[in-house]
Every structure is written in structure tokens, then in C-alpha cells.
Amino acid sequence: MNCPHQPPSLIRYTPIQQFLHLQSFAALPDTAPSAEDAAPLGCRYDDMIAVYGRAFQERLGELRVFMVGCGALGCEFMKNFALLGVCCGPTGSLVVTDNDRIEVSNLNRQVR
């Protein structure tokens, strides 16, 4: 189908030949956790425990965080905190404050 506003040579799509290389070795701990510390617990955080150990996951759960702003970025941070188990321990807490008013125009940036 030809567009009347553009010449046919500009309409064609040619995929770019490329690849993505992602390495995150800097995120790995210097020493691997012991086999006992990395043993799976049958919970949603078993992948994190296998890499960083149970003690690290427990420290994440016990964090106490005060977050200022829960707009587009704040909602993503809260979602990722929940997925990683941050502040989800018995004494962990996440306090969120936002001085902005919720309006219909802002709802598309909130957690779905």
C-alpha cells in the first residue's frame, strides 16, 4: 500500500541487524553463599537466595524505607521492592508519602 504523502522508498521497513549483550557480573557477590545458606526454601525468593544467600534476603526483608513521591517512578520502585522482598520481613516497613493530588490524567502512570 502506497502512502500518497511519502515516496515508496521511505515506506519500506528494513530490520536492523544487531544483537544485545548484557552482563551483570558486577551485581554478583564477591564470594558465593554456602550451600546451606543458598538452599531453596520453596518461596518466591528462591532465585535471589540461590545467588545472594538467605542472610542477604533476610536483610532485604528487614529494611525500613521512607519513599518520597509515588508517581511513575515511585510506583515502579514499590513494585520492584515487593518483587524482591524489600521491606517484606516481620519488622520491615515501607512508608510512602506524596504531596500531589491524584487526578484522572495521572492514573495512566500508576501501578496496574
pLDDT value for 71: 78
Is pTM beyond 0.85 here?
no
Residues 25-50 have a mean pLDDT of 92
Asked whether the predicted pLDDT for residue 99 surpasses 80, the reply is yes
Side chain identity at 73, as an amino acid letter?
Answer: L
- Give residue 34's pLDDT band: very low, low, confident or very high (50, 70, 90): very high
Q: Which residue has the higher pLDDT, 55 or 13?
A: 55
Percent over 70 (pLDDT), the chain:
81
What is the per-residue pLDDT across 45-63, written as a single tens digit (0 to 9) for each?
999 999 999 999 999 999 9
Are the beta carbons of 85 and 43 closer than 8 angstroms?
A: no
